[in-house]
Amino acid sequence: MRTDTARAAHTGTGATPPTPPETAAVRSGDRRSLPLAALLALATAVFITSLTETLPAGLLPAMSADLAVSESAMGQTVTVYAVGTALTAIPLTAFTAGWRRKRLLLTAMAGFAAANTVTAVSTDYTLTMVARFVAGVAAGLAWALLAGYARRLVPPHLGGRAIAIAMAGIPVALSLGVPAGTFLGKALGWRVAFWAMTVLTAALLAWITAAVPDQPGQRPEARTPMLRVLRIPGVAPVLFVTLGYVLAHTVLYTYIAAFLGDAGLGGQVDRVLLVFGAASLASIWFVGAHIGRRLRALTIGGALLVAVAAAVLAVAADSTPLVYGAVAAWGLGWGGAPTLLQTAVGEAGGESADAAQAMLVTLWNSAMAGGGVVGGLLLDALGAGAFPWSVLALMAPVLAVVLVARTHAFPARRATATG
């Protein structure tokens, strides 16, 4: 998740936001255009961060066998990545707040290239875990600026659309990246999949250098103390919803290969992930088109879809068509969640939206780490069949809070449309 949200996101809170930085689109006089080359570069950065985090989910059996550890231990490569982000997002965001945005993005992506290279060559579990932690640190830098960077590249009225384009990297990573990585890992070995990530990141570094306009960092007077943000009406409910939503998703997604194996679908992991990712891609498109008017309804609908999908997986895992249908519903419920939750916390935070976003980044990745740990414990103690039930238990309070927190956190209609 991301923290450097432009002040244009803060309308509707009773405060007048400072004028956003001048953008290429405004300077050219075309207030309707989108700088697609730059936004797609940011979407590719999102793709790399998301795929680096989740790629082990499709490669756990091969990685665990090669490094001589259990699948639950190998699943902690997702956990340690999230821990790296959760521990460093706030301090690194504060330390680099004044950096030029392009310099910071290039630094973060170079960190991914180094971490994935070490993962690809490592034959030691501990070294692999260190590399994954470093990748998580790089993610903390990247997620802290990507959405805000996207918004600052366009006029205010196109901010929501710009974020939707940048965040499309998440479902593309799930719909194409993880299945492709899983297929590549099966065909040529899991190390090749991580080498491919390094090559892609090197190409992205050149793309960012050539196509992404630079933006300044934050001025010292624009920065807000983190703890003060929790007292702003609406912020705490969004953070609570984020914790439950992400934890529920991660518990099942990290160990999806184990769950499908238990259901007799171990040979269809890549196809199931493809269905999930395609549904996620449709979800983020739909959310991007309607978030300006339907933030609350979309959030409720997404949470309901995830809960229904979990219920079907809990009671009908022996039916292949129902499993695929449930996975599609899960993807539809999850795909737009990053955009919805980020938008909700930014609007609730108002003038303190940057600090609220930093807290969301940390909490999001803490939930990712917690999901890996909880999932590993459930797998060892109760088996893979416990995953859908845990998702149901976590989504119940999420739905309750979204339904109740309708004034500040999840209003029926957003105060402003952002594209």
CA separation for the pair 128, 122 (Å, rounded): 6
Comparing C-alpha atoms, which of 151, 145, 154 is closest to residue 35? 154
At 368, the amino acid letter reads M
Q: What angle do CA 330, 332, 337 make, to 5 degrees?
A: 95
CA separation for the pair 319, 321 (Å, rounded): 6
* Contact status, residue 67 vs residue 124, Cβ threshold 8 Å: yes
CA separation for the pair 217, 264 (Å, rounded): 51
Find the radius of gyration of the CA atoms of the chain.
20
**Residues 391/397/400/401 CA torsion (nearest 10 deg):** -120
176: left (phi over 0), alpha (psi -120 to 50) or beta: alpha
- For the whole model, what pTM was predicted? 0.69
Distances (CA, A) of 26 to 11, 101, 242, 380, 419: 19, 19, 34, 56, 16
Residues 6+ away with beta carbon under 8 Å from 54: 78, 173, 174, 178, 253, 254
Q: Is 69 exposed, middle or buried (0-12, 13-18, 19+ CB in 10 A)?
A: middle
- Computed from CA positions of residues 99, 100, 106, 109, in that sequence, does the dihedral angle turn out positive or negative? positive
What is the per-residue pLDDT for 311? 93
Comparing C-alpha atoms, which of 248, 197, 253 is closest to residue 60? 253
Distances (CA, A) of 306 to 54, 246, 417: 19, 11, 26
What is the per-residue pLDDT for 20? 37
pLDDT tens by residue, the chain, 419 residues: 433 333 333 333 333 233 333 344 434 334 457 888 999 999 999 889 888 887 887 788 888 888 888 888 888 888 888 888 878 877 887 788 778 889 999 999 999 999 999 999 999 999 999 999 999 999 888 877 787 788 788 886 776 677 778 877 776 776 677 777 778 877 888 899 899 999 999 999 999 999 999 988 767 665 666 677 788 888 889 999 999 999 999 888 888 888 888 888 877 787 888 888 889 888 878 887 787 678 889 999 999 999 999 999 988 888 889 999 999 999 999 988 888 887 787 777 766 666 677 788 788 877 877 887 888 888 888 888 888 899 999 999 999 999 888 766 676 655 443 33
What is the per-residue pLDDT for 27? 41
